[in-house]
Amino acid sequence: MYPFSLRSRRLLGIGVLVLVLSAMCVLPAVAASSASGRIVILYTNDVHGRLEAFKASGADQPAAGMTKLATLVDDIVAKEGKNILILNAGDSIHGTNIVNLFNGKSMIEVMEAVGIQAMAVGNHEFNYGQPVLLERAAEADFPFLSANTVKVDGGQALLPGVVILSVGGVRVGIFGLSPLDTYTSTHPKNVVGLEFVDPIRVASWMVPFLREQEKVDLVIALTHIGYEDDKRLAAAVPGIDVIVGGHSHTRLEKPEKVDGTIIVSAGEYAKDLGRLDITVEDGKVAEFSGELVPVAAGVADNAEVSGIVATYKKELDEKLSVAVGESLVALDGERANVRTRETNLGNLIADMMREAGQADIALTNGGGIRASIDKGPITVGEIFTTLPFDNTLVVLEVSGADIKAALERSVSAYPKELGAFLQVSGLAFEFDPSGAAGERVTAVTVQGAPLDPKKLYKVATNDFMAAGGDGYDMLKGAKVVFSSGELLRDVMANHIKNAGKIAPEVEGRIVVK
């Protein structure tokens, strides 16, 4: 247990800064003077619940995962001693069955065993709702940091914004930043009553505070705002020594430097352990080097972490091992595919939603599909991995004009990956990516007939999108015809069970001109 009530807290009465720093974690510090020393920063981001090794697409052997990554961390700690700082840049405590079904507890235990000293709060840390997030934060023996997440009522910080640590004789100030798109990249109900303040504004307050008042030697922004925003942050706010970033799943093989700030990011799913070596002289970064250490198949599983995982698996396996049906083909749920194109798994999920909701059309965001399913028997566990979010089936009454607007939103970032990219059923559409934003969709048919802008259609979707999630504001005010309360993964399990055997195909529902 690491309750914040046992830590030193400070209220800063300097105007709006109190909104984002109403809780501050301060660990034993060295004297407030310019120091010298060497620090090894180990970092992860966007782990998304990957506790165990797994087979990546096309791989022969399982690799990655926290059980193996912990072994690499232990080896480095054994060589480097106490000048180690271990950080996580968010989106870790949600994403797989063994994590989701325990509301993130299993991942917290593993992160503690690995030695994580601070974590940025990512958008998916909110997936269980604010009460559960606060429970996990109170249980963890490391702080959850978000300097830019505040309560609208009263303006207090939801969680600590900053922690100050003494590492290798150097006084280190670390502040966390959460993404502005949390409003649309978790269920809107999970962030009711919260405001996400512009990260650049917050950093512009944080850096002088840490430098001038706390007299830190090294300033680290632990961010979950994405690589492009990390670069903007570095350019806009001088005085940040290091940005350890996440959210965009960017894999930077070597540290980058933008306007004097070092930026690092380790990709996703604990496939790599990031390492950044820094030499500080008189309170300034004199030298740095870094790399990504692959969490390869040949890395041994860590005994302590494996023991934690085994305890949770024992409870889990019984529930998830039951097969509900069989697929005669491999079902494509790869991240890059469901966020840019039609896939057979996307079609299956959209079809089962349309059927269950007795709707004309089904629309579901590709970002809600999190894994592929191999050819052969389909278990409850595979369905949970594919649809890990607690989203339910909703049927709305939506005008053809708003359906067209939703399709425009879907293809707005193409060819870039977008979680809002739609998998569809009951309609087909063409789009021209060279067109202006909002004018890319060139043709839409509903069950063979042209989409009528004035007609009202019954649209099956998930409650995340129905509430405006992923930027689908055009659905937010639609009349709710049916709110099932049934989880999409349960709808999918029932659909496959009733079908027995399935073989969905890519049918040309989405065509790029």
Please determine, for residue 444, whether its predicted confidence score (pLDDT) is greater than 80: yes
Report d(CA 171, CA 102) in Å as an integer.
36
Does the pLDDT of residue 487 top 80, yes or no?
A: yes
437, with CB counted inside 10 A (0-12, 13-18, 19+), is: exposed
Q: How far is CA 163 from the centre of its chain?
A: 22
> How far is Cα 492 from Cα 282, in angstroms, rounded to an integer?
60
How far, rounded to the nearest angstrom, does the alpha carbon of residue 158 sit from its chain's CA centroid?
A: 19
Q: For residues 19 and 157, is the Cβ–Cβ distance under 8 A?
A: yes
Q: What are φ and ψ of residue 231, in 5° steps?
A: -65, -40
Whole-number pLDDT of residue 188 = 82
pLDDT of residue 18 exceeding 70, the answer is no
pLDDT of residue 57 exceeding 90: no
For residue 318, give the H/E element and its range: helix 303-320
Reported as a single tens digit per residue, the pLDDT across 368-418 is 999 999 999 999 999 999 999 889 899 999 999 999 999 999 999 999 999
Determine what percent of the chain falls in helix, strand and coil, rounding each to the nearest 5. 30, 30, 40
Please tell me the distance from the alpha carbon of residue 224 to that of residue 210, in angstroms, as a whole number.
20
In angstroms, the CA 186 to CA 94 distance is 11
Class of domain 17-312: alpha beta
Residue 25 has a pLDDT of 57
Instruction: Name residue, tokens 């269920």.
Output: 187
CA–CA separation, 227 and 118 (whole Å)? 20
Identical topology for domains 17-312 and 323-512? no
Q: Is the pLDDT of residue 419 over 60?
A: yes
CA distance 221 to 164: 12
Q: What's the CA gap between 392 and 108, in Å, rounded?
A: 27
**Edge-to-edge order in the sheet of strand 501-502:** 376-379, 323-327, 501-502
Domain boundaries, the chain: 17-312, 323-512
Q: Return all residues near 473 (Cβ < 8 A) that are at least 6 apart.
A: none
Average pLDDT over the chain, rounded to an integer? 92
Three-state DSSP at 443 gives: strand
Sequence-distant (6+) residues with CB within 8 A of 3 are 138
pLDDT value, residue 235: 98
For residue 11, pLDDT beyond 80? no
**Range 323-512 has CATH code 3.90.780.10:** yes
Summarize the confidence of residues 204-229 as an average pLDDT. Answer: 97
Largest CA distance in the chain: 74
For residues 469-495, average pLDDT: 91
CB 397 within 8 A of CB 457: yes
Q: Express each pLDDT in 233-275 by its tens digit.
A: 999 999 999 999 999 999 999 999 999 999 999 999 999 999 9
Taking alpha carbons only, the member of 226, 284, 222 closest to residue 35 is 284
pLDDT confidence band for 465 (50 / 70 / 90): very high
- Sorted by sequence, the CB contacts under 8 Å of residue 174 that are 6+ apart come out as 87, 118, 145, 162, 163, 164, 165, 220, 221, 222
Share of the chain above pLDDT 70, in %: 93
Q: Which residue has better confidence, 283 or 40?
A: 40
pLDDT at 24: 56
The order of strands in the sheet holding 284-294 is: 144-145, 118-120, 84-88, 37-44, 272-281, 284-294
Label residue 17 by pLDDT band (50, 70, 90).
very low
Residue 154 buriedness (CB in 10 A; 0-12 / 13-18 / 19+): exposed
**Each residue of 324-334: pLDDT tens digit?**
999 999 999 99
Q: Quick one: pLDDT band at residue 301, thresholds 50, 70, 90?
A: very high
pLDDT at residue 12, rounded to an integer: 30
Q: How many CB atoms lie within 10 A of CB 362?
A: 28
Q: Which band of pLDDT confidence, cut at 50, 70 and 90, is reported for residue 29?
A: very low
Checking if the pLDDT of 9 tops 60, the result is no
The tens digit of pLDDT for each residue in 100-122 reads 889 999 999 999 999 999 999 99
Locate 97 and state its tokens.
């069955």
- Note the pLDDT tens digit of each residue in 173-213: 999 999 999 987 888 889 999 999 999 999 999 999 999 99
The yes-or-no verdict on residue 217 having pLDDT over 80 is yes
Q: Given strand 441-446, what is the order of strands in its sheet?
A: 449-450, 441-446, 427-431, 510-512
Gyration radius from the chain CA atoms: 23
Q: Which among 324, 381, 374 is positioned nearest to 352, based on CA atoms? A: 324
Report how many helices (DSSP H) and strands (DSSP E) the chain contains, helices first: 15, 27
Residue 436 carries which DSSP code? P
Length of the chain equals: 513
Please list the alpha-helical segments (H only) found in 436-507.
Answer: 463-466, 488-499
Q: Look up residue 264 and give its two tokens.
A: 């690092």
Element containing residue 208 per DSSP (H, E): helix 199-208
- Confidence check: pLDDT of 3 > 80: no
pLDDT of 424? 98
pLDDT at 35: 80
Q: Is the pLDDT of residue 13 over 50?
A: no
Pairing type for strands 323-327 and 501-502 reads parallel
Give 81's DSSP letter.
T
pLDDT tens, 127-146?
999 999 999 999 999 999 99
Q: Return the number of other C-beta atoms located less than 10 Å from residue 3's C-beta.
A: 11
Give the 3-state secondary structure of residue 91.
coil
Residue 54 C-alpha from the chain's centroid? 18
